[in-house]
Amino acid sequence: MKQPRVMIIGAIGAGKTTLTNALLGMTHVAVKTQAMNYKDWIIDTPGEYSENPMFYKTIMATSLEASHVIFLQDATRTTCIFPPGFSKGIPKRTLGVITKIDHDQADVKRSITLLRRAMSAGPIVLTSAPNAIGIHHIYPILACETDEEIQRYCHENSENIVL
């Protein structure tokens, strides 16, 4: 099994660095990402790259270094920063991750709908990094080598995963 290389994209403050730290077992508090940040097998991107269409080419070029792209959606946001069908411009396996699902203002159903507009394929994992909800599903999904393996994993571990 080959080590995945993952690029995480999402809005400013959506939880990209917090998710990166959780996936790598780091416990320190996340600080604002100013530039592409390569940490082990993860490429953590600044939210400005996803929010400003002028940076879309940078996202697409950097995605060539990755085996997967994680699309992050903050469950407390009422909008999605990704345009409809955005994942079609990135020729990599995609995984959706909804963060902050346990926040008082979270609307998970809305977040799933918003993320599905941007992602043409791939499962969505519902997470809360501070409370370790759903985080344990991300790496096993990324480690799957085929769509069939992903489907099987998601069906066998359906809690906090949406297909």
Q: What is the pLDDT of residue 19?
A: 94
Query: Is 1 among the domain residues?
Result: no
Indicate whether 154 pLDDT > 90.
yes
Q: What is the pLDDT of residue 29?
A: 62
Query: Is 149 among the domain residues?
Result: yes
For 128, which DSSP code?
A: B
Where in the sequence is the domain holding 85, given as residue range(s)?
6-162
Query: Is 99 among the domain residues?
Result: yes
Token pair 């929010």 in the structure block, residue:
51
Task: Tally the domains of the chain.
Answer: 1
Query: Is 104 among the domain residues?
Result: yes
> pTM of the full predicted structure?
0.92
pLDDT digits (tens, 9 = 90+) for 108-129: 999 999 999 999 889 999 999 9
Token pair 């990209």 in the structure block, residue:
16
C-alpha 117/C-alpha 129 separation (Å) is: 24
- 155: domain CATH number is 3.40.50.300
Query: Is 83 among the domain residues?
Result: yes
Query: Is 13 among the domain residues?
Result: yes
